[in-house]
Amino acid sequence: MEAFSFLLLCFSLLDLTAFCVARDTITTLQSISDGDTLVSADETFALGIFSPGTSKNHYVGIWYNKDPTKAIVWVANRENPLTDSSGVLKVNNTGILVLLDSNNSLIWSSNTTRSAQNPVAKLLNSGNFVVQDDTNSDTEDFLWQSFDYPGDTILPGQKFGRNLATGLNWLITSWKSSDDPSQGSFSYQFDIDGYPQLVLREGTTKRFRFGSWNGIQFSGGPQLKNDSVFRFSMISNEQEVYYVYWLVDNSVHQRLQVTSDGFSHRTSWSGGNTGWTTVSHLPVDDCDYYGKCGAYASCDTNSFPMCNCLDGFVQKTTDSSSGCVRRTSLSCNHSDGFVKFSGLKLPDTEGTWFNRSMRLEDCRILCWNNCSCMAYAALDVSKGPNGCLLWFGNLIDMKALSASDEDIYIRMAGKDVEAIEQNRSRKSKKRKRKIIIAVSCVLSFGILILCLAFIYRWKKHLKGKIKEETESGAINSHHDEDDLELPLFDMCTITSATSNFSSDNILGTGGFGSVYKGILEDGQEIAVKRLSQNSSQGLQEFKNEVMHIAKLQHRNLVKLLGCCIQAGERMLIYEFMHNKSLDFFIFDCERGKLLDWPRRFLIINGIARGLLYLHQDSRYRIVHRDLKAGNVLLDDELNPKISDFGLARNFIGNENQAKTSHIVGTYGYLSPECIVDGIYSTKSDVYSFGVLVLEIVSGKRNRGFIHIDHNLNLLGHAWTLFTEGKCLEIVDASIKDSIDLPEVLRSIHVGLLCVQRNPEDRPSMSYVLMMLSSEWTLPQPKKPGFFIERDAVGDSSSSSNNKLLSVNNLTVTQVCPR
């Protein structure tokens, strides 16, 4: 009897051991309860019972196992939560997953149309939770899989689209909130009423349309491209239409998610505690919102107004967003023709007709013979125009694209076709005429070539001298001479322009030296930044400013005209700004009145556009690292221009942050992670921008801010008023008569979102611009970094001395205004 009991104990231990080893699988004899988890074989994903955010409800879900945030990628019972932690997940003898509560009542179950001899549930390395017959475990013949029922997330290898044969819809729907995973207002899916297209909806209303697939790209997403980490494919046939992506580098994790605020995000995480970073998000700008400009109009954020009628159409009303109508009505006979349009996001394909095998010429004839057909296009352009896509209603939701592989042919009245072709022909001839004139001028003036050759030899001589100074320590750079890529001014020219650096021409002085006003021989006004020998902006900073700003071109960045490096001098020559810098106005009671609220709001948006260009759209991804009011100059029309790139750094490839042991910047604008850990990124600039927004709204400096009721700095004061619903108390008294209340409140809200303590919580600059220009609900900001300012030193910008502070063995240098 004792021997029999011992054998039973052994078998029990063996069974328990088997369960512990096979951590990715449960059988019909096992279950998952609170505290238990299944972990995929490669330990990427885990499945168990969890409670989201502050909720007390419990759900069965899948998350990234090693992610500190435990990002949830799938929820089983999202519409029917467990009210306590006593739930149990099992797989029954027929191969159905069941979730039972403490009363043994059914909370959730899977489904299957087949039975299995030995069903098991397994969490795969892909994050797919499947039920299969254990006798066929080496195949992908699943009785049920979670990949067929997405939540708010699509994982690599998971289908996103439609099974046209079975009717299965692989769509994603947002959570209601971070505490509630039940279906929210937003859904993202392939619409199949007409040619299939990706559409993001709020309820039943279209919010954004990624567009249809043309064999190379989605018509509304030319920015979606394969890279060194990410690959994707689009399958569209009679049986299925779906999008799927996968990752080349297994050390990087990516997910596609629709969030509760109505955005589609592709985020990436590569381990560690850096958190998830946004690779791309949609909508990107105002033109991405569905039907922004109405019918027969194209939307372009780079033009004013954004909405413009297509050739052959005129505005329906005085409101440019109301859409357009034909200049000449169609006659519905063979006098009608077609006009080709390129560089457009194709219009909404709902209600369209398509044929995959038809030739484009046959497509044109088919549309021409049907009075209801308004336009046609090729269905697939991957191997030349092929297939046919026809539109029968108004053409809506078009956007101007810089890169597009597809044309659309729109039906027009015969005389409009002729007029448009003649106009385009005139423009083409005018362009050719300009080219001919330019070439003729070059050929006619041989002496100009000789002059250019002389100038080239002179510059080469100057660069040779620069190289000599480099080797002797004047500029310690490993770059080639050609990296300068901007004009070199000689010392005589600059001396003459500034009246031998007369004290009467000094515009400003700082730790770096002085800035002088100058006038060149042709009458052009310039600003000359002359570094002193003991300048706080060192040789490396000077090289940075030359190398970076020379390659940047944007209306909200100051233009560098050239530099001068002779006789031990280091000088930068800029365009002259008559209105000095932003701090000259906003921190002065009288001059501040010259910048009313509309002008301040334009300045905020201009600075944001300049930063977005640096972070995302420039030749290099650049972090400014010293954004402040003193480094924002104002031109003749008070448009903002970001200046002073001495501390700028650029990121290479997928790099998104860096660390330094010698931290530079200006107190009051430096982000917490920069001062405490020496980490800087684009989110460091976002923090500085947030401080600047609150300063522009309030007319007060963050550094040295004093209030009689507390010792909070400006950020702390603004956040306190925000939480109490008293935001207007922070607004500069001199502009209160000119404010637009929603704009002011939104600006304060956005500013507080930008200065949150954790970099991951701060928005990107593209998100900032959308929040400033849109009316949708903004997320609640968390407590800002450096909430309390106890140092009574005052505003660093008023000091001309460097101050050093040791933080975690890092040296922090306060750089005075330059």
> Which helix (H) or strand (E) is 772 found in, with range?
helix 765-773
Q: What CA–CA distance (Å, rounded) separates 310 from 496?
A: 53
With contact defined as beta carbons under 8 Å apart, do 713 and 789 qualify?
Answer: yes
Specify binding-site residues: 529
**Which pLDDT tens digit goes with each residue over 340-389?**
999 999 999 999 999 999 999 999 999 999 999 999 999 999 888 889 99
Residue 266 φ/ψ, nearest 5 degrees? -110, 115
With contact defined as beta carbons under 8 Å apart, do 176 and 184 qualify?
Answer: yes
Catalytic pick among 336, 583, 626, 644: 626
Residue 122 has pLDDT above 60, yes or no: yes
With contact defined as beta carbons under 8 Å apart, do 79 and 183 qualify?
Answer: yes
> Which residue, 321, 277, 331, is CA-closest to 295?
321
Q: Which CATH class is domain 288-426?
A: alpha beta
> Which residue, 112, 54, 134, 58, is CA-closest to 89?
58
Average pLDDT over residues 677-697: 93
**Which pLDDT tens digit goes with each residue over 285-314?**
889 999 999 999 999 988 888 999 999 999
Q: Tell me the one-letter amino acid at 804.
A: L
Residue 809 has pLDDT above 80, yes or no: no
Q: What is the CA radius of gyration of the chain?
A: 32
Kindly report the average pLDDT of the chain as a whole number. 84
Question: Quick one: pLDDT at residue 785?
Answer: 80
Is 596 an active-site residue?
no
Residue 224, both tokens? 């979606």
Lowest mean pLDDT among 94-108, 151-165, 256-270, 643-657: 643-657
Q: What's the fold here for domain 583-814?
A: Transferase(Phosphotransferase); domain 1 (1.10.510)
Domain 457-575 has CATH 3.10.50.40: no
Question: Quick one: pLDDT at residue 171?
Answer: 97
Task: Place 688 in a pLDDT band, splitting at 50, 70 and 90.
Answer: very high
> Which helix (H) or strand (E) is 279 found in, with range?
strand 277-282
Residue 13 has pLDDT above 90, yes or no: no
Question: Quick one: pLDDT at residue 535?
Answer: 53
Q: Is 58 exposed, middle or buried (CB count within 10 Å of its CB: 0-12, 13-18, 19+)?
A: buried
Q: pTM for the whole thing?
A: 0.54
With contact defined as beta carbons under 8 Å apart, do 667 and 621 qualify?
Answer: no
Strands 662-665 and 810-814: parallel
Question: Quick one: pLDDT at residue 594?
Answer: 92
Question: Quick one: pLDDT at residue 106?
Answer: 96
Average pLDDT over residues 40-49: 96
Residues of the chain with CATH 3.30.200.20: 457-575
Residues of the chain with CATH 3.50.4.10: 288-426
Q: What CA–CA distance (Å, rounded) separates 69 from 779?
A: 19
Q: How many CB atoms lie within 10 A of CB 238?
A: 8
Specify binding-site residues for ATP: 529
Task: Place 804 in a pLDDT band, splitting at 50, 70 and 90.
Answer: very low
Q: Tell me the one-letter amino acid at 175.
A: W
Residue 495 has pLDDT above 60, yes or no: yes
Residues of the chain with CATH 1.10.510.10: 583-814
- Of the ranges 26-40, 467-481, 620-634, 645-659, the best mean pLDDT one: 26-40
- Of the ranges 270-274, 638-642, 706-710, 795-799, the best mean pLDDT one: 638-642
Residue 349, both tokens? 């394909």
Residue 664 CA, distance from chain mean position: 26
Residue 272 has pLDDT above 80, yes or no: no
